[in-house]
Amino acid sequence: MSIIMHIDMDAFYASVELRRRPELKGKPVMVGGSTRGVVLSATYPARERGVRSGMPMTQARRLCPKAIIIQPDFDTYAEVSKAIVVIFESVTAVVESASIDEAFLDITGSVRQLGPPSAIGEYLRAVVADEQQITCSVGIGPTKFIAKLASQAAKPDGLREVPADDVISFLHPLPVEAMWGVGESTSEKLHRLGLFTVAELAHTSRSTLQRAFGVHQGALLSDLAWGRDHRGVVARAPERSVGSEETFGKDTDDPEVVKRELLRMSARTAYRLRKARMMGRTISISIRFADFTSLTRSVTVTSPTDVTDEIHHHAVALYEKLGLQRARIRRVGVRVEGLVEAERAYRQPELTEPDKGWREAEQAMDAAIRKFGPAAVQRAALTRRARG
């Protein structure tokens, strides 16, 4: 049984704007164009006055004349969206961006290592809030359809999980307007047939629905009304890099804590490289400071690698060259770029290198982890919780 998560940013454009203008928090704000344009996003105080996304700006201004109107900044929204997707990819590689402000995640393979679905969802909500200062709503279910409905039920700034056994009890009391693909015209047609709830729709024969809405749409309405949705999460095309990042529990200026976390991120990145059967030649680190400023540094090595110690060696060298001198650090990350398929990669051997070394040892560790779980084999340096 699949476990699908739908994450929807709350009033995305408006929330991003409030980061830059925190004095507007709690006030009605609309993001959109001129008086001839439409509302692209609105804060919840504006929504309480009836303002909705897609509404003509003239109508929205009549409903909420005291609202503050902000011109959209699409470059910033796209940048924030990309950063959020990176957060999602920290828990699963199967991420489908449905739009700039929402995504589906298949976390079926993540629960063994990361815990129950609700814990993963709360973790992602916390990281998005911490890193991007915006909120999101999370829905979890056995299908994309149920997960999306669950995220709508969780709004704003909440989480709703619908286990497979609870799908019907969750779905059937909903109005037909909640159904995927049911717009104004379709809902009016359903109402003319005497169908107002999903339960009433579900108990209408498929043939009746197909006569009224066509073979394809009628069948789709019937299936969705019973929670049946065979569409899987389609991951975006893989980028030519693999990486990991982690935010400290509290800011730290201890170089040993930073280096140990760089080792943890190097090990995680190397594992992901080996799992993807890839190796890379460019190693980069990212540092985010307590004031939320960031920097990155990278180095290109002679031979492609997927070995933790090699990646960590270069990551630490990059960090030490920065000479940060007690700068308080919030987050570190390690990334490997310039990827090639492991089978086609040529590694220049060192004269002192044994026939079998750390790469073979880590492959054996990978096999143990796959069989016995993530705690089966760990580096001694990483069994101690990082301080700071």
Q: Which residues are catalytic?
A: 102
Q: Which residues pair with 104 in a beta bridge?
A: 6, 96
Do 129 and 156 meet the contact criterion of CB atoms below 8 Å apart?
no
Q: Is 106 annotated as a binding residue?
A: no
**Burial (Cβ within 10 Å: 0-12, 13-18, ≥19) of residue 332:** buried
DSSP summary character for residue 101: T
Q: Distance between CA 121 and CA 117 in Å, rounded?
A: 6
Quick one: which of 93, 161, 76 has its CA closest to 122?
161
Q: Is 75 annotated as a binding residue?
A: no
Q: Distance between CA 220 and CA 224 in Å, rounded?
A: 6
Q: How far is CA 160 from the centre of its chain?
A: 16
Q: In terms of DSSP H, where are the helices of the chain?
A: 12-20, 44-47, 57-63, 74-88, 111-114, 117-132, 144-154, 167-171, 184-192, 198-202, 206-213, 215-225, 255-275, 308-322, 358-372
Largest CA distance in the chain: 81
The tokens for 272 are 């992901």
